[in-house]
Structure 1
Amino acid sequence: MRVSKALGFSLLVLFIGSTSLFAADAKKPLSAASAQPSLLSEFRIGFSAQDPWGPEGEDGSANLTGEILLAKPFTASDLFTSYFIPRPHFGGSLNFDGRTSFAYTGLTWTIDVTPDVFVEGSVGGAFHNGKDKVNDPFSDRQALGCSPLFRESGSVGVRLSANWSVMATIEHLSNAGTCSDNRGLTNVGARVGYSF
């Protein structure tokens, strides 16, 4: 129950913050919106529930998340081909209750469903400070086997303006059987993104 209240409050804060920033962004003159290409593509910040179906999330543990996406390394001449060109990313997840936190990097593919709605998938790797093995069956920590781990995530998002978006995200960390313990860690949450 604590995690649902925390996520509900987090989503409300993200929504209010993003709508007020959207209003400020809408007042910018058109000339300010056309900037030179940059190495940075997007910055995202949000909150997630820590492994709500596992031992690390049984009492509603939550995370602060942040991510930076770089620009695509090259562009394609048509929209369809551009969907196959990923953006490099790096980010992190900081647990509020002293459980598993991690830093990650990888590649992200974004596909527009409509001009305002998009879906996204990413793959990469993560280094964590969690437990490789857990001997106590009643522990509130998850045995992750080793570090680094593979990381996959999926998102569904809505663009509020040319610069601002909100998205729901699920991510999974696992060693894919390369170590003895392999339950993995799954987090779900919401983020606000700002595109440069």
Structure 2
Amino acid sequence: MLLAAVSALEVTGIAHAGDVPGSTFDPSGFELRLGTFVHDSLSPERGSADINAEALMHLFRPAPSALSWLTPRWHVGTTINTAGKTSSLYTGLTWTFDLTPRLFAELSLGGAVHNGTIGRIPVAGHNAMGCRAAFRESLSLGYRFTQQFALMGTLEHMSNAGLCAQNRGLTNFGLRAAWTF
């Protein structure tokens, strides 16, 4: 009987994942993420760390929980290098895929602007990023400890996809904590 009632709420879009037995995540909330990344360990900029901050929210009502992965969340964030190398501001869309009630994977796609080296002449110790604007994508694997708190490993990449003369790109990886409100 309870299962039938929950199913009816999901079909009408009233229930969210946090209301379903066995699930711990409510995708309709505002989420704040903070973490630290290893800065592009295979590039001229290697050897430093980044601070990452990101906010996520829905721009429109999420799909029922069984289909919530179809509804992306809008994100806006920054990755700030602690050694004066390339930092960025970014925005885009994030899709969350529940693997179990607590384990999830994410894909983010969007754009970024950065303060790195542009133009044709490379600068020693810096990536030749080519142009100021770039595409940004990221992959995360995370674990929800509670409905409000999760940890995730993240890999982010930024490049201009060959649209400018130089395209060294930038790839960072690290850990982030997420709080849902």
Shorter-normalised TM-score: what interval? 0.7 to 0.9
Task: Give the aligned partner of residue 71 of structure 1.
Answer: 58
Task: Give the aligned partner of residue 21 of structure 1.
Answer: none
Cα offsets for 1:83-142 (capped at 9, x unmatched): 1110000000111100001100000000100001000000000010000136357x1100
C-alpha separation in 1, matches of 2:139 and 2:165: 26
Task: Give the aligned partner of residue 45 of structure 1.
Answer: 34
Letter in 2 for 1:149: A
Matching of residues 21-32 of structure 1 within 5 Å: none
Change (3 A) 1:49 1:42: same
Cα offsets for 1:131-189 (capped at 9, x unmatched): 0136357x110000101100000000000111000000000001011111112100001
Task: Give the aligned partner of residue 182 of structure 1.
Answer: 167
Task: Give the aligned partner of residue 171 of structure 1.
Answer: 156
Task: Give the aligned partner of residue 20 of structure 1.
Answer: none
Runs of 5+ consecutive residues of structure 1 not aligned to the other structure: 1-36
Percent identity among equivalent residues? Answer: 44
Cα offsets for 1:58-79 (capped at 9, x unmatched): xx21011100001251222351
Matching of residues 62-141 of structure 1 within 5 Å: 62-77=49-64, 79-80=66-67, 82-133=68-119, 135=121, 139-141=124-126
Runs of 5+ consecutive residues of structure 2 not aligned to the other structure: 1-25
C-alpha separation in 1, matches of 2:94 and 2:102: 18
Letter in 1 for 2:171: T
Contact kept in structure 2, 1:62 and 1:96, CA below 8 Å: yes
- Structure that is richer in strand per residue: 2
Tell me the C-alpha RMSD between the 2 structures: 1.9
C-alpha separation in 1, matches of 2:48 and 2:65: 44
- Structure that is richer in helix per residue: 1
Aligned residue pair count:
156
Give TM-score scaled by structure 2 length.
0.81
